[in-house]
Structure 1
Amino acid sequence: MNYYPNRIVIGFQSGVSPSTALQIIQQVGGLTVIDTIPVLNVYVVSVLPSLLNIKMTILSNFSGVRYVEYDGILSAQLTPNDPLFPQQWGLLKINSTRAWNVTRGSTLVNIAILDTGVQTNHPDLVDKVILSHNFSASSTVQDLNGHGTHVAGIAAATTRNDLGVAGLAINPKIMNIKVLDDSGSGAFSDVAQGVVYATQNGAKVINLSLGGTLASATLQNALQYAKDNGVLSVAAAGNQNSSNLFYPAAYVQCLSVAALNQDDTKASFSNHGASWVDVAAPGVNILSTLPTYANSQGGTSYGSLSGTSMAGPFVAGLAALMLSLDSNVNNVLNAIQTTTVSINGTGTLYQRGRINTYAALLKITE
């Protein structure tokens, strides 16, 4: 909604006196004058939202009423000055710039990136990483693979700093919890440890751009622990172009995310299946941060990668913005899923469509 649902602006003809204007307003009934602009002969009145449109219709039929209109909402427009932002088609596709006019999030909301680590001193991430812990077989908490740094940048790279890329969650912080080694592999138990640690250390969102085809009661129980403590877990649906269950995304404790091309078609590699894949998000040629040193992804500083691993952090970033407004995970999950854009495959390839950040944030503020 781009107007106030409980306000009407009435413009009277220039010859209508204040007493006549007030008489008309009183005759319509159910209206309270809250402001006037005498030089324009304008009256701003409050009204019950359920009566807004009928009262506007009645007012417009009075002689002496020049016009009746909604009291529209204008917002300061945040335009990222990050030089690579124009190349971030994913952010533009999910309506992020309008979403930032609703909220840029809270610095008290933390996104735990459970991955190959995050380069903590990356220029576009250094101000965002508040905690690091290593549960993997690697000897360092830093990201030598590159995957985790890329994921972190999508969710929450520093925005409007005249540098590199923009992250969706502008104010929320990043928790670097390394659960995969430098080759990108990790044990169920390591990931479960990371989930518990993130929960106990204040994470509000957990991003899991990882998975496999084997189920684990330990990991599922850890995710249930996170859910019970008000943490929302987001998981990549996997890259096998298969409808076979992929874990942890297939667990009911996770919001599972498939990957889309720029034209809203399913990415060729993305897993699918409306019985267990919840929503979809951009996941092909996604530009984000990469370590400034040599890593397994090949590029340095910034680069584009594809995968459901890239789709997940868009949803995690959105969840962080939403949890800044409403701490109830169930409300956030409902708003994300009921405001998606219906695309080809909705209901068959994925239970819902592509995320719409602006619509989801408006829904959570209702």
Structure 2
Amino acid sequence: MRRNKKIFIKTIAVLVLVSMPTFVFAEVPNDAFYDQQWYLEQIGAPNAWDTQTGSNEIIIAVLDTGVDLDHPDLVNNLWKNTGEISRNSIDDDSNGYVDDIFGWDFINDDNSPTPDTGLEASSEAVNHGSLIAGIVGAGGDNKIGVSGINWNISIMSVRILDAVGSGDANTVAQAVYYAVDNGADVINMSFTGNVNDPILRNAVKFAYEQGVVIVSALGNEGEDVDNYPVFPACYKSSDGNDDWVIGVASLGKSDKRSVFSNYGSTCTDLSAPGEDIYGVSYFNPSDGYDDKYVGGWSGTSMASPMVAGAAGILLSQYPNLTPTQVRNALKLSVDPVSLDSEYTGEFGAGRLNISQALTIARNFVDQTTETDNPDVGDNSSTTSDLEYSVKAPSFASVYYVTGEGRRAFISSAAYFTWFDSFEEIANVQDQDLSAWSLSGLMLPKAGVVLVKIQSDPQVYALAENSSDEFSPLLRAIPDEQTAIALYGNDWADYVIDIEPTFFAKFSQGEPMSSSETVDKSIMKRREDLTN
């Protein structure tokens, strides 16, 4: 197949050798160089590991320059295609790829998805894929090397970038289809291009619709991607309702923006550490690659697999989460970042916090199907009196605080069903807000609005739930005649859209009847749900 022109940037990371700081934690894995991995504590990994360390049942596809399949810190966490018999030159599983035991090399069209170490190869490209794989899932607590975010995981190596870190859209699209067809739960893409290619767009859309979480770096040009979009990070549905890709920007050790990181309000979902990263490198002394581990890596390429790894942790704990639920859990659980005013809202919801994401993710889980997993926080509340809403300078969300912790409002519209003005928000310091543990979500208040799922015309009333005031009862309105009888001819003015993810948090009630009485005096129109 004739390839499109190469569109992906060659400089996929910036390598700067620097000395690394040492941190000491109370409880840490016993990996030899764990003290070099400052970023793991920053993203809440140690606290998350108290609950979940990953599962080999979850497959994370690393679309990159190839992975060192013999590296001692990766070898036990590599995906293995059980449908193939190794080296028999037969496509045993009839997937179109012969002997694809560990993945596929779409550059050389063979079954060895490892880096090209030829004369023209750059060391950055040779090491890049193995570094990304190690961030996602280097073996943890195994007394050697470094710890991945997932101590246990299945890493599928899919090579789509050549010896200098360049690739094309057709190749990436083929790789996406391969990853999806072979069971990937998460796809990490630590590269960017500036062409909105329809073939790749369709592949990304297909992956999202098949339930695959897609994570991508935002790029290293220091530009506003609202003005200069990058792909695949900026792929989403035409109406904007479906955000297919989790776009990740880079932060430094003090949660300040990385000067090289791209940013923007439309394609950036959250941020993660991307400076001075220590991790796995390609090891093959016969090719001149003598180091198993290298530090000093910087780039959004490093930030992206931290989020992909976090998605792996969430799916290991709650395998039935959808891509939208994973994205929302990650965004609603962030820690604040330190930004100059001109960059407010441009680095996504905040900085990744895996431990808090586990707590939020529980809110999306149907507990009748997830009872085998341990609790990570109580998401119920019987508090009868609303206390107050708070906002901290670096937090993207507004929270409602009770004695049991803080709850994130799912939208500004949800906030205005409880309050009349942003003036009612108490301003607190970042450290004070962080001290309140996450205890759940704030849904629209019962009786104030009507709701519907964004893509579904069915409208529901919200009724009080005597057992949990924060989980209103969804009561379906059977038809327009019933809506008019209950709420008048202007009933549609009271309807707001809710993302499908959040519908799982409502309790189910009986359908509404036209003979019932409702209190319209407390209701608010859509136009009233603003400051």
Give the TM-score taking structure 2 as reference length.
Answer: 0.53
What residue is the counterpart of 2:233 in the other structure?
249
CA deviations on 1:10-51 (whole Å, 9 max, x unpaired) are xxxxxxxxxxxxxxxxxxxxxxxxxxxxxxxxxxxxxxxxxx
Report 1:222-261 matches (<5 A): 222-243=203-224, 244-252=228-236, 253-261=244-252
- The answer on whether the counterparts of 1:78 and 1:101 sit within 8 Å (CA) in structure 2 is no
Q: Secondary structure at the match of 2:176?
A: helix
- Residue identity in the other structure for 2:313: L
Query: Once the 2 structures are TM-superposed, how far is the Cα of residue 251 of structure 1 from its aligned partner?
Result: 1.3
Query: Once the 2 structures are TM-superposed, how far is the Cα of residue 293 of structure 1 from its aligned partner?
Result: 2.2
Distance 1:226 1:313 in 2: 18
Out of 284, 298, 304, the position equivalent to 1:306 is 298
What residue is the counterpart of 2:149 in the other structure?
168
Between structures 1 and 2, the one with greater strand share = 1
- Residue identity in the other structure for 1:293: N
Query: Once the 2 structures are TM-superposed, how far is the Cα of residue 362 of structure 1 from its aligned partner?
Result: 1.3
Which aligned segments of 4 or more residues in structure 1 are displaced greater than 3 angstroms? 137-140, 294-299
1:135 is aligned to 2:106: yes
CA distance 1:122–1:202, change in 2 (3 Å) = same
What residue is the counterpart of 1:158 in the other structure?
139
- The answer on whether the counterparts of 1:125 and 1:157 sit within 8 Å (CA) in structure 2 is yes
Distance 1:299 1:257 in 2: 31
What residue is the counterpart of 1:62 in the other structure?
none
Distance 2:197 2:261 in 1: 22
What residue is the counterpart of 1:83 in the other structure?
32
- The answer on whether the counterparts of 2:283 and 2:289 sit within 8 Å (CA) in structure 1 is no
Report 1:1-366 matches (<5 A): 79-130=28-79, 131-137=102-108, 140-144=112-116, 145-243=126-224, 244-252=228-236, 253-293=244-284, 300-304=291-295, 305-326=297-318, 327=320, 328-345=322-339, 347-366=344-363
- Residue identity in the other structure for 1:98: N
- The answer on whether the counterparts of 2:180 and 2:210 sit within 8 Å (CA) in structure 1 is yes
CA deviations on 1:80-115 (whole Å, 9 max, x unpaired) are 100111110111110100001121122110100000
Q: How many residues align structurally?
A: 290
- Residue identity in the other structure for 1:251: Y
CA distance 1:90–1:362, change in 2 (3 Å) = same
CA distance 1:109–1:297, change in 2 (3 Å) = farther
CA distance 1:284–1:299, change in 2 (3 Å) = farther
Distance 2:313 2:235 in 1: 23
What residue is the counterpart of 2:406 in the other structure?
none
Identity %: 36
- The answer on whether the counterparts of 2:282 and 2:289 sit within 8 Å (CA) in structure 1 is no
Q: Work out which structure has the larger RCO, using CA pairs closer than 8 Å and 6 or more positions apart in sequence.
A: 1
CA deviations on 1:296-332 (whole Å, 9 max, x unpaired) are 9977211121100000000000001111233222211
Query: Once the 2 structures are TM-superposed, how far is the Cα of residue 78 of structure 1 from its aligned partner?
Result: 5.9
- The answer on whether the counterparts of 1:158 and 1:167 sit within 8 Å (CA) in structure 2 is yes
What residue is the counterpart of 1:49 in the other structure?
none
- Residue identity in the other structure for 1:247: F
Distance 1:230 1:88 in 2: 31
Distance 1:325 1:203 in 2: 16
- Residue identity in the other structure for 2:234: A
Distance 1:297 1:206 in 2: 30
Give the TM-score taking structure 1 as reference length.
Answer: 0.76
Q: Secondary structure at the match of 1:206?
A: strand
Query: Once the 2 structures are TM-superposed, how far is the Cα of residue 174 of structure 1 from its aligned partner?
Result: 0.3
Q: Secondary structure at the match of 1:176?
A: strand
Q: Secondary structure at the match of 1:127?
A: helix
- The answer on whether the counterparts of 1:111 and 1:175 sit within 8 Å (CA) in structure 2 is yes
Distance 2:173 2:285 in 1: 29
Where does the alignment leave 5 or more consecutive residues of structure 2 unmatched? 1-25, 80-101, 117-125, 237-243, 364-531
Compare 293-302 and 124-133 and name the one that shifted more.
293-302
Q: Secondary structure at the match of 1:141?
A: coil
Distance 2:214 2:287 in 1: 26
